[in-house]
Structure 1
Amino acid sequence: MALSTRFVVDSAADTDTWIRAVHTGFLSPPALTQESLDERRARQDFRRARGVFDGDRCVATFRSFDQRLTVVGGATVAANAVSAVTVTATHRRRGLLSGLMATDLAEAKERGDAVATLVAAEYPIYGRFGFGPATMVTTWHVDGARTGLDPRWALPESEGTLAFVDGAEVREAGPGVHERFRLGQAGAIDRNPLFWERATGEARFDITPWQEPFHVLYRDADGVPQGLVTFSVDDRWDAGRPANTASVRDLFATSPAVEATLWRFLLSLDWVMTVDTGRTGPDSPLTLLLPDARAAVVHQHADFLWLRPLDIPRMLAARRYAAEGELVFDVRDPLGLAGGRFLLDASPQGASCAPTGREPDLTLDTGALSRMYLGDSSAARLATSGWIGEETTGAVARADLLFRTGHRPWCPDIF
């Protein structure tokens, strides 16, 4: 039987089959109630969800949706967010992902998206489609007894308040705080209302019972919300003594000082012996707060958000640069969507970028440009590893002077 590819949004049966195929592809428990399927169809955007079908059986899934990505300097660019990419094990090595990806990226370019984004479940897959890792995350396990911090710490009243809040208050205050956070954090992405509904149990897609986490909201001395942390605590005791771990699900703040306050709060909780930080940014102030920094042990340091250029002039002109200068990039694109030769004229005040016939200063592919774009990887490091070719003497050093940033990019959100 011939395979067919189609959008699933117009058919409830196709959408339900597609959702089940996503669960199978990610080796999640396939048992889904009709109630959970109906809830997901009612709340989630399936307009750009495609499936490959073998008869009535969905054997490959792919979905994209609109996203805004914050770049260096605080501007945002239109991104094509790629998600729910699976190929059932029985239908591998038939080019199904290649076909779905090529079609979706071509449509995204036609719409005018500057980049595509995804969070890669497996590292080797996406480089061949022109993606490259653009941000990193670090997870720390912090031994509270070793930090050297005062366990009797409390936030001074002059600095604001910390309060446990419920899901309804998170849905009310959280989006505004997050929007101010993400506009100041290169690599951060926007969150739609469904994100907040799922994070607070208002929308429940899975059959596993919902367990309400703790939410703590920080307000400054004027009563303005400036930070939020969501965490859960296991209930473990050892020989009559508490041995609990507080596991952070979400922590963001509008300034490093507010972030430091939220970490300080978590490390002062009674009965909590260990803090699992979740996906923190590589520039988090956490370890600098600790008198004994060895109390924090890296549990994971890994790539996270991957980028793929679709409109190189637009993406390069959107960000700010640390100095004035020009560079000509000769960019290779494995899919032929965004390659070419481009002149970047950059400055701290703004930039322009356009196709050019000038000789190149640097040659690289779209994946290497993605690594460098938000400031996570230096041009010198990429050149040393063979990711960038220097065609003009001093061009690599000039690229580092332009692209360097004071803080590394960070995206905490899976999508």
Structure 2
Amino acid sequence: MSRRTETDVRPITEAEFPDWNRALNTGFLQPPAVAEEQLEARRRQFVPGRSLGAFDGDRCVATFRSFDQELTVVGGGTVRADAISNVTVTATHRRRGLLTRMMAQDLAAAKERGDVVATLIAAEYPIYGRYGFGPATTMTEWAVDVPRAGLDRRWAAPEDGGRIDLVDGEDVRGLGPGLHGWLRREQPGAVSRTELWWQSRTGLVNMNGTPWTEPYYVMYRSADGGVEGLASYRTDDHWGDAKQPLNTATVEWLIGVTPAAERALWHYLCSIDWVQTVKSGWRSPDDLLPHLLPDPRAARITTQADWLWVRILDVAAALEARTYDGQGAVVLEVVDRGGLTGGRWRLEAGPDGASCVPTAESAHLVLDVGDLAALWLGDASAVRLAALGRVREERAGAARVVDALLRTSRRPWCPDMF
């Protein structure tokens, strides 16, 4: 009988990068062979010490990568985040603690660097709660039945005096970063985008190894000439019997930094000849889209799920970084099985700022660090979590106090996959 050997978990070297990528593709059920163009594109993401691998002999059997990120919090401030991606364990080496070892190394390093939180997009729900992550934003996708939407199919231009124009990838690379920065200042849950993000979405860099086909890019310019919106979309070519068009426009991403820009872009997309369905792509669960249509029921939810997960590494820094509309104080006992930031904290907050300090006072609310992450960006409800048995009130009414402090009028949203 063969004996199981100890698997070495360590930061990969430049020479190990091809094998690491083979394991990455294998874990995500993609063809294991990595095209040279794809490999060279991924090298641009390689940061020494931030890409971990588990090795059984010379073969990489698990992958893990993190990188620097900024996360927007309530009020428009940002915190330093340790963004985690490319997490895989090969099927031959499951249930051996490899992810736990890689996660522990990475989170300890992030804590040492002074990162306030760690972030990730969870492919599977049950995995990351045990590492202190909690689902902090939700994503919704709609499919719009264009004929039912009630828009005038003779629509030709925005009603506010603005204009819609098709542009090319070079325009997007020039205008996109500024627009996204504008959006990010207003949107809790949004994350920073690198130059590589824009290059990969406009065909300069091929990250997935498949042949590049350029999408359509559309821009909204307001009546005073300012660019306030951009979107990328693709269309198919599908016709039914009797020459009836059944085409779909699928939105890859859409930035509207004003309600007028969002309205104009969605109305344009729902007015393209032959397009019968518009798929929205990843949007906020309280997106304006359905109610920008005369008949909101024309927008049918096709996906609604957790999206950005957050792991708080510094409770005080996280709670002091955001703003608060209400005024109040609460003592939180934060349980952190990972040992990175647990303890009892007194939060005093109001419109003029917040203070969060360790305390020996009796706790008002006891909660896991992952549930604090779900509350921190303003989306979850402490009252609801208490009803689910996930937080415990030590003082009657504490959950309502927390909701009054932390919940926001618009829901947090992360537009990105990473």
TM-score of Structure 1 vs Structure 2, range by shorter chain: over 0.9
Residues 224-251 of structure 1 deviation map (CA, whole Å, 9 limit, x = unaligned): 2211111100011112121100001001
2:295 alignment partner in structure 1: 292
How far apart in 2 are the matches of 1:320 and 1:202?
A: 39
How far apart in 2 are the matches of 1:280 and 1:193?
A: 22
1:349 alignment partner in structure 2: 352
Secondary structure of the residue aligned to 1:281 is coil
Which amino acid letter does the alignment assign opposite residue 387 of structure 2?
Answer: T
| Residue 384 (structure 2) aligned to one of 381, 384, 387 | 381
How far apart in 2 are the matches of 1:151 and 1:360?
A: 59
Do the aligned residues in 2 keep the contact of 1:32 with 1:206 (CA within 8 Å)?
no
Q: CA deviation at 1:157?
A: 7.5
1:2 alignment partner in structure 2: 6
1:59 alignment partner in structure 2: 61
1:193 alignment partner in structure 2: 195
Do the aligned residues in 2 keep the contact of 1:322 with 1:404 (CA within 8 Å)?
no
Identity %: 54
Q: CA deviation at 1:370?
A: 1.0
How far apart in 2 are the matches of 1:291 and 1:149?
A: 7
1:152 alignment partner in structure 2: 154
1:325 aligns with 2:310: no
How far apart in 2 are the matches of 1:83 and 1:235?
A: 34
How far apart in 1 are the matches of 2:106 and 2:178?
A: 31
Do the aligned residues in 2 keep the contact of 1:133 with 1:371 (CA within 8 Å)?
yes
Q: 1:207 to 1:185 in 2, by over 3 A?
A: same
Secondary structure of the residue aligned to 2:297 is helix
Q: CA deviation at 1:290?
A: 1.9
Alignment of 1:11-410 (within 5 A): 11-12=14-15, 14-41=16-43, 43-47=44-48, 48-156=50-158, 159-239=161-241, 240-410=243-413
How far apart in 2 are the matches of 1:352 and 1:151?
A: 54
How far apart in 1 are the matches of 2:158 and 2:279?
A: 25
Q: CA deviation at 1:400?
A: 1.1
Runs (4+) of structure 1 moved beyond 6 Å? none
How far apart in 2 are the matches of 1:279 and 1:211?
A: 21
Secondary structure of the residue aligned to 1:106 is helix
Which amino acid letter does the alignment assign opposite residue 67 of structure 2?
Answer: F
Which amino acid letter does the alignment assign opposite residue 8 of structure 2?
Answer: S
Alignment length (residue pairs): 412
Q: CA deviation at 1:136?
A: 0.3
Q: 1:223 to 1:292 in 2, by over 3 A?
A: same
Do the aligned residues in 1 keep the contact of 2:9 with 2:101 (CA within 8 Å)?
no
How far apart in 2 are the matches of 1:220 and 1:370?
A: 37
Residues 220-278 of structure 1 deviation map (CA, whole Å, 9 limit, x = unaligned): 22322211111100011112121100001001111223212211111111110000111
Which amino acid letter does the alignment assign opposite residue 269 of structure 1?
Answer: I
How far apart in 1 are the matches of 2:101 and 2:153?
A: 56
How far apart in 2 are the matches of 1:190 and 1:36?
A: 23
How far apart in 1 are the matches of 2:160 and 2:136?
A: 39
Q: Which residues of structure 2 form unaligned runs of 5+?
A: none
How far apart in 1 are the matches of 2:309 and 2:42?
A: 26
Q: Normalising to structure 2: TM-score of the pair?
A: 0.96
Q: CA deviation at 1:158?
A: 5.3
Which amino acid letter does the alignment assign opposite residue 4 of structure 1?
Answer: D
Secondary structure of the residue aligned to 2:320 is helix
How far apart in 1 are the matches of 2:137 and 2:317?
A: 20
Q: 1:5 to 1:113 in 2, by over 3 A?
A: same
Q: CA deviation at 1:19?
A: 1.1
Q: 1:39 to 1:292 in 2, by over 3 A?
A: closer
Q: 1:37 to 1:156 in 2, by over 3 A?
A: closer
Which amino acid letter does the alignment assign opposite residue 148 of structure 1?
Answer: G
Do the aligned residues in 2 keep the contact of 1:153 with 1:268 (CA within 8 Å)?
yes
How far apart in 2 are the matches of 1:163 and 1:312?
A: 46
How far apart in 1 are the matches of 2:195 and 2:70?
A: 14
How far apart in 2 are the matches of 1:185 and 1:154?
A: 30
Do the aligned residues in 1 keep the contact of 2:37 with 2:206 (CA within 8 Å)?
no
How far apart in 2 are the matches of 1:110 and 1:299?
A: 41
Q: Normalising to structure 1: TM-score of the pair?
A: 0.97
